[in-house]
């Protein structure tokens, strides 16, 4: 029973389970992140999916969790479901195995009956995918119970204590809000913990370090051809090239192997591909794309990589991004720019995030984004953590989401607002140029006026003006300085999926395209409504079978002309 408070009224709710008899943790490292055993009943059952032996559990399961297992006399079971699934060919699909365990341990049905029902259900669920998939799932059910082990809880767990985790450099928001919400403690936060205007701190996904991948890439330096394609396709910015001057490598960990930079522009630099194992989701796209004759990336179990690469990744964050040495508009060169979309919680292998990531590498420091509802608004702005981040100068995409249907108009409004502010800025600059000015200020103002619609020129003269005018505290030059956030020409973007672009937001999109204004539109055409589970959109091709269009698509895909 829980109590929700509305002013002075207390409403009792009975729908939340606060004292479970049975808890299952399907991702081993969640025992380190969440209070998974909160409220579990004495003598209850705890099922863990892990590859740990009892000795390893001593190291991996936090002391307070081990003590709860001991104190509450829990029936503690472990199964290495991933090992079974991988052996059968199911990859990391462990749901049938975990369901079989649930029915064995929970006693809600006689286990034989439950297993038969599961197998019948497998036919219904996977029949369309063919016999091979059905048989693999049935095999998974059959191989479960022999591998389900009751853990003999050691006496020593009675006195187990959690080690203090060393504080990192996280901000107050991360400590006081984000971590609490992520640990399922959001209900306990007061309203005052949040900002009144709904603004969330940027770049906080990097503090999550979820470690959810089963396998992560290992870089084999000797095979690497330095093409950066692995980084280009990574949906999570969890693998990036490190380009360093030799002096930046002083104090590097021993395993921080680097190569001589290959190709024009790289002569003075050392090169390395750095994997960030705790933010990787294990999709394997990097290893698949690697074009080297003998692959330079191979997927290895997280536990074999994490210790060494965690430290190497940490070290790599101190090395600056080498912008300007390779062409920004190339696959290889773009990857030397900081992704301003890092470590989103998008699904492993997401096909949307790599496109957005590379756009942030090309334009991120001056971008605005109006985002339709859809997957991209979920991985782009899931409270409490935010993957859009800023560079070392504090510049990055300004992102907001209004509604599913109005993203185009919303972005158009952002563009018009900036355009009108810049127009008025230009007239102030003209006015100022008619007054007596120092030579430097005059040159900077003239340069800005001439180049205001050019990204590089407006940034260059804008930077000069910020320096020259920072101490001015009255008059027209102060008014100009106060508009410094629009000195640089913006890159305005509207993001959305095909459900937005072809169906629900099409009218606004058409209107904005017809305006001919300088606004960019990215349609992430996944050919279904991905975020709501796979309904067909007008972009779904004829005959395609989607989750919620089980009998296929009757009419053809809507095509954009021109």
Ligand X SMILES: Cc1ncc(C[n+]2csc(CCOP(=O)(O)OP(=O)(O)O)c2C)c(N)n1
Binding site for ligand X (CB under 6 A): 373-376, 404-405, 496-500, 504, 524, 526, 529-532, 537
| Chain position carrying tokens 């280009």 | 232
Query: Is 60 or 386 the residue whose CB approaches ligand X more closely?
Result: 386
Least distance (Å) between residue 419 CB and ligand X: 27
Query: Is 204 or 373 the residue whose CB approaches ligand X more closely?
Result: 373
Query: Is 278 or 359 the residue whose CB approaches ligand X more closely?
Result: 359
Answer yes or no: are the C-beta atoms of 85 and 100 closer than 8 Å: no
Separation of alpha carbons 74 and 464, rounded Å: 67
Query: Is 121 or 560 the residue whose CB approaches ligand X more closely?
Result: 560
Answer yes or no: are the C-beta atoms of 100 and 141 closer than 8 Å: yes
Separation of alpha carbons 12 and 25, rounded Å: 28
Separation of alpha carbons 409 and 480, rounded Å: 29
Separation of alpha carbons 98 and 96, rounded Å: 6
Least distance (Å) between residue 109 CB and ligand X: 36
Separation of alpha carbons 276 and 302, rounded Å: 11
Give the residue nearest to ligand X (CB).
497
Separation of alpha carbons 557 and 543, rounded Å: 10
Query: Is 66 or 538 the residue whose CB approaches ligand X more closely?
Result: 538
Separation of alpha carbons 94 and 80, rounded Å: 10
Least distance (Å) between residue 320 CB and ligand X: 34
Query: Is 240 or 524 the residue whose CB approaches ligand X more closely?
Result: 524
Separation of alpha carbons 558 and 562, rounded Å: 13
DSSP annotation of 501 reads I
Q: Which H, E and C letters describe 529-548, residue by residue? A: ECCCCCECCCCCCCCCCECC
Least distance (Å) between residue 356 CB and ligand X: 11
Least distance (Å) between residue 550 CB and ligand X: 17
Least distance (Å) between residue 175 CB and ligand X: 32
Least distance (Å) between residue 289 CB and ligand X: 22
CA distances from 558 to 512, 542, 543 (A): 19, 10, 13
Query: Is 347 or 437 the residue whose CB approaches ligand X more closely?
Result: 347
Query: Is 491 or 531 the residue whose CB approaches ligand X more closely?
Result: 531
Least distance (Å) between residue 374 CB and ligand X: 3
Least distance (Å) between residue 403 CB and ligand X: 6
Query: Is 365 or 405 the residue whose CB approaches ligand X more closely?
Result: 405
CA distances from 556 to 128, 311, 532, 540, 544 (A): 23, 52, 21, 7, 10
Torsion sign over Cα 68, 69, 74, 76 = positive
Query: Is 339 or 380 the residue whose CB approaches ligand X more closely?
Result: 380
**What three-state secondary structure class fits 74?**
coil
Least distance (Å) between residue 200 CB and ligand X: 20
> Which is nearest to 366 in space by CA: 458, 237, 440?
458
Separation of alpha carbons 402 and 512, rounded Å: 16
> Which is nearest to 380 in space by CA: 517, 522, 547?
522
Long-range (24+ apart) CB contacts under 8 A made by 150-153 are 150/75, 150/76, 150/77, 151/54, 151/57, 151/76, 151/77, 151/78, 152/54, 153/69, 153/70, 153/74, 153/76
Query: Is 315 or 388 the residue whose CB approaches ligand X more closely?
Result: 388
Separation of alpha carbons 502 and 536, rounded Å: 11
Those residues whose C-beta lies under 8 Å from the C-beta of residue 307, and which sit 6 or more positions away, are none
Query: Is 36 or 369 the residue whose CB approaches ligand X more closely?
Result: 369
Those residues whose C-beta lies under 8 Å from the C-beta of residue 288, and which sit 6 or more positions away, are none
Least distance (Å) between residue 553 CB and ligand X: 14
Answer yes or no: are the C-beta atoms of 551 and 557 closer than 8 Å: no
Least distance (Å) between residue 503 CB and ligand X: 8
């Amino acid at each position: 029973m829980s109590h929700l408070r509305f002013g002075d009224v207390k409403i009792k709710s009975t729908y939340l389970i606060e004292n479970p008899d049975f808890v299952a943790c399907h991702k081993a490292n969640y025992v380190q992140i969440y209070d998974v055993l909160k409220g579990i009943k004495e003598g209850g059952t705890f099922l863990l999916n892990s590859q740990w032996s009892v000795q390893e559990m001593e190291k991996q399961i936090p002391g307070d969790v081990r003590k709860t297992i001991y104190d509450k006399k829990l029936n503690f079971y472990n199964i290495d479901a991933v090992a079974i699934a991988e052996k059968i060919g199911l990859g990391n699909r462990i749901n049938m195995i975990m369901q079989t365990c649930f029915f064995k341990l929970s006693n809600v049905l006689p286990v034989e009956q439950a297993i038969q029902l599961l197998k019948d259900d497998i036919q219904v669920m996977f029949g369309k995918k063919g016999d091979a998939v059905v048989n693999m799932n049935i095999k998974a059910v059959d191989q479960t119970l022999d591998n389900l082990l009751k853990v003999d809880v050691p006496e020593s767990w009675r006195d187990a204590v959690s080690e203090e985790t060393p504080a990192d450099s996280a901000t107050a928001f991360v400590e006081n809000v984000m971590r609490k919400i992520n640990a399922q403690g959001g209900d306990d936060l007061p309203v005052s913990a949040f900002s009144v205007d709904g603004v969330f701190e940027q770049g906080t996904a990097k503090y999550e370090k979820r470690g959810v991948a089963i396998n992560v890439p290992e870089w084999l330096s000797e095979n690497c051809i330095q093409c950066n394609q692995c980084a280009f396709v990574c949906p999570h910015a969890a693998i990036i090239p490190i380009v360093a001057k030799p002096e930046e490598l002083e104090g590097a960990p021993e395993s921080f192997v680097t190569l001589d930079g290959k190709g024009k522009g790289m002569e003075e630099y050392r090169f390395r591909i750095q994997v960030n194992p705790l933010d990787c989701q294990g999709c394997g796209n990097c290893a698949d794309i690697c074009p080297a004759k003998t692959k330079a990336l191979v997927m290895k179990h997280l536990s074999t990589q994490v210790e060494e690469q965690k430290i190497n990744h940490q070290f790599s964050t101190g090395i600056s991004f080498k912008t300007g040495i390779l062409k920004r508009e190339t696959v290889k060169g773009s990857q030397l720019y900081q992704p301003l979309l890092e470590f989103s919680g998008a699904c492993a292998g997401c096909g949307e995030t790599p496109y957005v990531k590379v756009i942030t590498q090309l334009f991120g420091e001056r971008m605005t984004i109006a985002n339709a509802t859809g997957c991209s608004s979920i991985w782009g702005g899931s409270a409490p953590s935010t993957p859009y981040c800023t560079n070392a100068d504090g510049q990055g995409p300004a992102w907001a989401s209004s509604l599913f249907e109005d993203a185009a108009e919303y972005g158009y409004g952002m563009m018009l607002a900036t355009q009108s502010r810049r127009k008025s800025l230009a007239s102030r600059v003209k006015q100022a140029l008619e007054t007596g000015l120092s030579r430097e200020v005059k040159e900077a103002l003239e340069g800005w006026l001439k180049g205001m619609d050019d990204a590089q020129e407006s940034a260059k003269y804008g930077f000069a003006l910020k320096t020259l005018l920072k101490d001015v505290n009255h008059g027209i030059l102060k008014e100009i300085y106060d508009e410094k956030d629009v000195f640089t020409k913006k890159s305005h973007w509207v993001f959305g999926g095909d459900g937005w672009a072809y169906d629900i937001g099409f009218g606004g999109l058409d209107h904005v395209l017809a305006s001919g204004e300088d606004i960019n539109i990215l349609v992430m055409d996944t050919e279904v409504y991905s975020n709501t589970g796979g309904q067909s959109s007008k972009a779904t091709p004829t005959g395609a079978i989607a989750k919620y269009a089980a009998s296929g698509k009757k009419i053809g895909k809507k095509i954009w002309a021109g």
